[in-house]
Amino acid sequence: MEAKSSIRPTPPVIETRRIVKTFPSGREVIQVLNGIDFKLERGKTASIRGESGSGKTTFLNIISGLEALDSGQLLWNGNRVDLRHFGELAAVRSSQMGLVFQAYYLLPELNLWENVLLPARLRGKPGSLERERAEYLLHRVGLAERLKFSVEKLSGGERQRAALARALMNRPRLI
Ligand SMILES: Nc1ncnc2c1ncn2[C@@H]1O[C@H](COP(=O)(O)OP(=O)(O)OP(=O)(O)O)[C@@H](O)[C@H]1O
Ligand SMILES: [Mg+2]
């Protein structure tokens, strides 16, 4: 007989079960994700490789709750994600996830420092700690000299570094 352990293992930060995703393409339907099982344990890093157009961005959008799936399950920290609860998901995303997008999505009407500070602003009025953190993060990605710079004048790599600083702003559990 086995003794029952009272210690529950920590659930994966992200888990997907048999995720299927299709997109309409003219009269056809293209199946982009074909039943993906994936787990990311706490403290681990995963890299997803595949040809251009193979579905990497689609998968990342799905696991961050930004895109609907056709079938399958998505779990965050062991909890089923229900995309109908959009507001709750946005709150979890804002407090626990830092997203770096392929297309950056920096806001041109805000300067560099304001872009990095934005995740803190969305959670309330940022204090001096947050303002200093935004500056520190820009320093860490090598953009300390450009705090008031227009993001539209940044190079692609500089934008990506700025997006990384923004993703780290709220000290996310998951990047
Ligand atoms: N909203 C959409 N509507 C229709 N088709 C889409 C949509 N989004 C993505 N696709 C298609 O799904 C496929 C996967 O796209 P995705 O962006 O996930 O690829 P990727 O692996 O990230 O590619 P890359 O390496 O070029 O960034 C592509 O064929 C793309 O055209
Ligand atoms: Mg992509």
Domain of 44, CATH number, reads 3.40.50.300
Kindly report the backbone phi and psi dihedral angles of residue 91, in degrees, each rounded to the nearest multiple of 5, phi listed first: -65, -40
Q: Is residue 2 part of a domain?
A: no
Q: Whose CA is nearest to atom 24 of ligand 1?
A: 52
Q: Please work out whether the CB of residue 54 comes within 6 Å of at least one atom of ligand 1.
A: yes
- Residue 122 and residue 94 in contact, taking contact as beta carbons nearer than 8 Å: yes
Q: How far apart, in whole angstroms, are the C-alpha atoms of residue 92 and residue 68? A: 17
Domain that holds residue 27: 14-96
Length of the chain counted residue by residue: 175
Q: Please work out whether the CB of residue 56 comes within 6 Å of at least one atom of ligand 1.
A: yes
Q: Average pLDDT, whole number, for the chain? A: 94
From 160, 118, 117, 120, select the one nearest 142 (Cα to Cα): 160
- 41, 65, 96 - which closes a domain: 96
- Residue 81 and residue 65 in contact, taking contact as beta carbons nearer than 8 Å: yes
Q: What distance lies between CA 101 and its chain's CA centroid?
A: 8
Dump strand ranges (E) for the chain. 14-25, 28-40, 71-76, 79-80
**Statement: residue 4 has pLDDT above 70:** no
Q: What is the pLDDT of residue 3?
A: 58
Whether 48 and 23 map to the same domain: the answer is yes
Instruction: Say whether pTM exceeds 0.85.
Output: yes
Q: Is residue 46 part of a domain?
A: yes
Q: What is the pLDDT of residue 1?
A: 55
pLDDT per residue as tens digits for the range 43-77: 999 999 999 999 999 999 999 999 999 999 999 99
Q: How far apart, in whole angstroms, are the C-alpha atoms of residue 133 and residue 127? A: 10
Whether 90 and 130 map to the same domain: the answer is no
Query: Which of 56, 63, 100, when mutated, tests ligand 1's pocket best, judged by the most ligand atoms within 8 Å of its CB?
Result: 56
* Cα–Cα distances in angstroms (integers) from residue 3 to residues 6, 8, 9, in the given order: 9, 14, 16
The pLDDT of 122-145, averaged and rounded, is 96
The pLDDT of 119-139, averaged and rounded, is 95
Query: Which of 28, 57, 160, when mutated, tests ligand 1's pocket best, judged by the most ligand atoms within 8 Å of its CB?
Result: 57
From 161, 162, 65, select the one nearest 118 (Cα to Cα): 162
Query: Structural domain tally of the chain?
Result: 2
Q: What is the pLDDT of residue 87?
A: 86
Q: What is the pLDDT of residue 103?
A: 93
pLDDT per residue as tens digits for the range 144-170: 999 999 999 999 999 999 999 999 999
The pLDDT of 108-129, averaged and rounded, is 95
pLDDT per residue as tens digits for the range 23-38: 999 999 999 999 999 9
- Residue 134 and residue 165 in contact, taking contact as beta carbons nearer than 8 Å: yes
**Statement: residue 6 has pLDDT above 80:** no
